[in-house]
Structure 1
Amino acid sequence: MRLNQRFLRTLTELTSNKELSHLIGAFTKTKISRLLIPLYAKTYAIRVEEAEKPLNAYRTLNDFFIRRLKSGVRKIDQDSSSLVSPVDATITGIGRIDDHLTFTVKGQSYKIEELLEHSPYTQKYNKGCFIVLYLSPADYHRIHSPVTGTIIEKKHVLGKTYPVNEFGLKQMHKVLSRNERLITYIRHKNGTIPVIKVGAMNVSSIKYSESLQIHPSKGHELAYFEFGSTVVLLIENGIFEFCKGLGLGSKVFVGEPLGYWRVKDE
């Protein structure tokens, strides 16, 4: 590892803690932070016309981070066999889980057991599929259900707040399974899918939506990030295929199909 990369890694290890994240998060909730909203929107080329409210209606920078979108801006695919994107994001990992219950992202190997914090559901994902969805500072930060089903378990895993961007995934050690995580298990007609919400550097919290339902429909709001972060989906082994053309670097939006389950006689 080059000297500058080693220095950045060491610096990140020293500063990626909840206290710093809370401090930054606290500032974004102050009234004075609202003055930064126009600059933030311009810097990240955010489509402000999609926001539920005009910029001057947001009381703080955090309020703008967790903005909702206008009704109908994101179309939810209604095919009963589809798995849809729960977020607006860029794909940073996609593929199959091997028979050792591991998968690889940016050259690093992750164990399902560690990602799910030793969950009894771990074995369900042997030879299944995974997809990693990174939310940049420019993205819409609310998280929606990728399927229609029933929430059977919610789990909060304490952890670090390392960055989950390109640098974090490549240079930090297994950030997806070391960072704070909020995991929602949803049972649906094709199995059980964990929606793994991974906290990141300077993310003060991951929160469930006030409108969370036990039986969410596809596209229903589940939670939101304060700042950007990452969502990981795990899919059980079965007749499932990702959409053609999806790969590393692909941009996806809430409600767009990521793949389909197919019945065996098709």
Structure 2
Amino acid sequence: MIKYFNRQTNSYEIEQVAGDKYLQWTYSSPIGMKILELIIKKKIFSSMYGWFCESKLSRSKIQKFIDEFNISEDEFSNPKSDFKNFNNFFTRKLVQEARPINYNKDILISPGDGRLLAYENIDINKLIQVKGLTYNLIDLIQNKKLAKHYSNGTCIILRLCPTDYHRFHFIDDGVCDEIHSIEGSYYSVNPIALEKIPKLFCENKREYTILYSKNFGDIIYIDVGATCVGSIIQTYTPFNPIKKGEEKGYFKFGGSTIILFFEKNKIKIDSDIIEHTKKGFETKVHMGEKIGLKS
């Protein structure tokens, strides 16, 4: 059972997990863990499932998914009849009104939909995965010189569930450099898996870039893949000027994670998000929503 805080309802809610029984069995049983290590965490498994989600055969999943998880079709920028396969639906664009963006230059927005954790004054050698499990920034980005710049800074972790909007966006005006890709495994990023796999984010396939932002300093922007994520697709052009709210890319099918690192004294995260993080709960947010301020 995964409990999170919903800002819109001002209450704690229980997450409806896609594939809950499968996740519980895989990450909690001896046989499941063996199959995980032998097959499920491998790239070929996620690639094969990605192939299925690109095929016409997967169209039959669309309506079932919409009904089961109560997804609003009013937000779709295109009618569902336009979707040729499940990934077309999964990576759907939304109408602009569905995700209004706060363009105030002093306001920090969420880069996507998901459940958010935030940590201030971080120790880059002991970043929190879950209570009792930590990892370090040097292993995550494999760049010791760069990692040192973020000591005592701020880290936010946005977990995207399969039911979420899966395009991610820029949080400020600026320039973004090229992608640095790090190969890895394809573990789930669900809290069920985070409690079982040490240094999971450092194990998974990931891509990072530096966003040289106009108002919030130089930000490490990390996109983490997961089980059944066919691909991480980047849609921006490196070194071209970008605007707050513009699309950076999207994940094909699967739950995924975005991790942002900010330098010391650049931002101040909203107190409710910090408070719930300290209590061990994620906060549900939407792309474009205010999550903090410029320091």
Deviation at 1:221, TM superposition (A): 0.1
2:210 aligned partner, one-letter code: Y
Residue correspondence of structure 1 range 1-266 to structure 2 within 5 A: 5=28, 7=30, 8-14=32-38, 15-91=40-116, 93-107=117-131, 108-118=133-143, 120-189=145-214, 190-209=216-235, 214-227=240-253, 228-246=255-273, 247=276, 248-262=281-295
State the TM-score, normalized to the length of structure 1.
0.91
1:103 aligned partner, one-letter code: L
- SS, match of residue 28 in structure 1: helix
**CA distance 1:171–1:126, change in 2 (3 Å):** same
- SS, match of residue 127 in structure 1: coil
State the TM-score, normalized to the length of structure 2.
0.82
- SS, match of residue 245 in structure 1: helix
**CA distance 1:127–1:101, change in 2 (3 Å):** farther
2:12 maps to none
**CA distance 1:36–1:98, change in 2 (3 Å):** closer
- Mapped to 1, the partners of 2:266 and 2:169 lie a distance apart of 23
**CA distance 1:245–1:100, change in 2 (3 Å):** closer
- Mapped to 1, the partners of 2:175 and 2:239 lie a distance apart of 9
- Mapped to 2, the partners of 1:152 and 1:81 lie a distance apart of 23
Q: Where do 5+ consecutive residues of structure 1 fail to align?
A: none
Deviation at 1:167, TM superposition (A): 1.1
After superposition, what is the alpha-carbon deviation per residue over 1:164-215, rounded to whole angstroms, capped at 9, x for unaligned?
0011111112111110111121011332111111000111110112677722
CA contact (8 A) 1:162 1:201 kept: yes
2:292 aligned partner, one-letter code: G
The answer to which structure has the higher helix fraction is 2
- SS, match of residue 121 in structure 1: helix
- Mapped to 2, the partners of 1:113 and 1:154 lie a distance apart of 17
1:245 aligned partner, one-letter code: D
Deviation at 1:152, TM superposition (A): 2.6
Deviates more, 1:27-36 or 1:205-214: 205-214
1:223 aligned partner, one-letter code: G
- Mapped to 1, the partners of 2:283 and 2:175 lie a distance apart of 29
- Mapped to 2, the partners of 1:100 and 1:224 lie a distance apart of 27
Percent identity reads 29
1:22 aligned partner, one-letter code: S
After superposition, what is the alpha-carbon deviation per residue over 1:4-59, rounded to whole angstroms, capped at 9, x for unaligned?
82524333222211101111000111112112110011122212211111111101
Deviation at 1:249, TM superposition (A): 2.1
CA contact (8 A) 1:86 1:145 kept: yes
- Mapped to 2, the partners of 1:105 and 1:147 lie a distance apart of 26
Runs of 4+ with >6 A deviation:
210-213
- Mapped to 2, the partners of 1:44 and 1:217 lie a distance apart of 32
**CA distance 1:6–1:34, change in 2 (3 Å):** closer
CA contact (8 A) 2:54 2:87 kept: yes
**CA distance 1:239–1:60, change in 2 (3 Å):** closer
Number of residues paired by the alignment?
259
RMSD, matched Cα: 1.9
Deviation at 1:226, TM superposition (A): 0.5
- Mapped to 1, the partners of 2:259 and 2:144 lie a distance apart of 15
Deviates more, 1:232-241 or 1:57-66: 232-241
Deviation at 1:239, TM superposition (A): 4.5
- Mapped to 1, the partners of 2:187 and 2:162 lie a distance apart of 15
Deviates more, 1:214-223 or 1:94-103: 94-103
Q: Where do 5+ consecutive residues of structure 2 fail to align?
A: 1-26
